[in-house]
Amino acid sequence: MPEKALVIGSRTYKVNVEEGQEQRLNAVAMKVDQVVGQLRQALGQDIDRDRLLVLSAITIADELHDIRARGETEKHTLVSFHANLADRLDALSRKLVKA
């Protein structure tokens, strides 16, 4: 498994990555680095690294939670739409059979 160097919060971390997953890992690492940078700007450059990484993880997990919640809401909306559409199609087909 190849090793990849990632820069997060101005530090380099070496991690193993499966073949073909390098681009995805880069994108994920860029997201983490972005959040670390935003928090560092908001909280000051002298913030403890462990605290910064924990707050970054919480921020990203909160974002993921919101995305999943929106997905569930959209799923329920889509299920309701399909049920309504099926009812309307059934009613229409009954009208056509009577005609």
pLDDT tens-digit series, residues 56-95: 999 999 999 999 998 888 888 888 888 888 888 888 888 8
Closest CA to 52 of 61, 64, 40: 40
Closest CA to 8 of 40, 32, 42, 24: 32
Closest CA to 33 of 65, 59, 56: 56
What single letter denotes the amino acid at residue 97? V
pTM of the full predicted structure?
A: 0.69
Phi, psi at 10, each rounded to 5°: 65, 15
Question: Which residues 6+ apart lie within 8 Å of 1 measured at CB?
Answer: 16, 17, 18, 19
Predicted confidence (pLDDT) per residue in 23-40, tens digit: 999 999 999 999 999 999
